[in-house]
Amino acid sequence: MTEGLITIGEILRPQGNKGEVRIFPYLDNLEEYKRLKEVFVIDKDCGETKYTVIGTRSQGKYIVIHLDGFNSIDKAETLKGYRICIPEEWLDPLPEGHYYYSEIEGLDVYDEEGRYYGKITDIFSTGKGSNDVYIAKDNKEREIFIPAINDVIKTIDLKGKQIIIHLIEGLVD
């Protein structure tokens, strides 16, 4: 991740034929996207490019963004899979106990007895009003899916870069 930037979405695909792109939003408050004047697009090689936002709108659970310089479906297609980021200071502070995805990704996962389960490599939302699910992967590429609920997540320590989980039945083989 580029220093000082928070990932706020992933570009899924072009939207229409005028250069807009469909974004999977990482922020709960979709109104935050409508305030954007500029964004950074991070490519697969972690290169960043700053773009002016021409327009933003909601479409169901997605956000559609039109970036300056993108005026065709072919041009928008080149952004597929890239991340949309902004400086952390552009975001409103979250209430205590809430985190941005980019703060959680990369944290080490341990259970209450100190057993290591890997790093958080991905997060997916199960829908509005439902909990997120954190995916932890160890160095043998084994994955566990951790529901982001109070019964499972006991501690999120951003400074210590770790999450402590309570193992519930069925969470780990």
Reported as a single tens digit per residue, the pLDDT across 111-149 is 999 999 999 988 887 665 678 899 999 888 889 999 999
Q: Could you list the beta-strand ranges (E) of 36-148.
A: 38-42, 48-59, 62-67, 83-87, 108-111, 116-125, 132-137, 143-147
DSSP β-ladder status, 108-111 and 162-165: parallel
pLDDT at 61 over 90: no
On the question of pLDDT at 1 being above 60, the answer is no
Encoded tokens for 84: 């949309």
- Domains plus CATH for the chain? 5-90 (2.40.30.60), 101-165 (2.30.30.240)
Given a contact cutoff of 8 angstroms between Cβ atoms, the answer to whether 23 and 32 are in contact is no
Pairing state of beta strands 38-42 and 48-59?
antiparallel
pLDDT of 3 > 80? The answer is: no
Q: In terms of DSSP H, where are the helices of 2-151?
A: 31-34, 73-77, 101-104
Q: Can you give the pLDDT at residue 78?
A: 94
The answer to whether 147 and 172 have CB atoms below 8 angstroms apart is: no
H or E element at residue 11: strand 5-15
Among the listed residues 22, 13, 24, the one whose alpha carbon sits nearest the alpha carbon of residue 74: 13
pLDDT at residue 166, as a whole number: 93
- Matching residue, tokens 């305030």: 35
Q: What is the value of pTM for the model shown?
A: 0.69
